Amino acid sequence: MNDTTQSRIRHIFLSPRPHFPLNTVAVLLEMPLAELKKEIEDGAIVAVSTGMGVRVTREEMVAAALSRWEPAVIEKALGRDAKRVLPEAIRLVELRARVPRYQKEMLRYLARQEGTSIGAVLSRELEDMASARAEELAAAVPSVAVALQL
């Protein structure tokens, strides 16, 4: 992560502003304005009309950042502020597990293919599981309910 990305992540999570103009959103999320407008049109990012024009809420910016960057990148960018601004349910914890060798090699392969970490691949797959079983898991595991609301 470069200093510019770190600064943008910090701006998104630490800004007290309730909403951001589209040009600022595009810069902070490191995407062309045309791509942002397409994301809004498709409903991937929700924009609202205000007295000052179309804006993206701070909450929506946080959600977009969480889907754009790996949690480890966000936590590193936020440093000590991560504990203050990230709900405990989504903060990273270490997980140790014993798995068959082929699963470990599979995770390594997928991480290399995607240019990411094993943790990011595994987290994405677990996120899919949480979504597929959202009702059951949210009822049984309070932190899942919190995470699914983000």
What pLDDT score was predicted for residue 145? 87
Number of domains in the chain: 2
Give CA 43 to chain center in angstroms.
Answer: 16
pLDDT tens-digit readout, 73-129: 999 999 999 999 998 998 999 999 999 999 999 999 999 999 999 999 999 999 899
Mean pLDDT value across the chain: 93
Q: For 64-77, give one letter per residue: b (16+ CB within 10 A) or e.
A: bbbebbbbebbbeb
pLDDT above 80 (res 1): no
Residue 41 located in a structural domain: yes
Of 100, 92, 32, whose CA–CA distance to 66 is shortest? 92
Q: Do residue 45 and residue 69 come from a single domain?
A: yes
Q: Do residue 20 and residue 67 come from a single domain?
A: yes
Q: Do residue 76 and residue 124 come from a single domain?
A: no
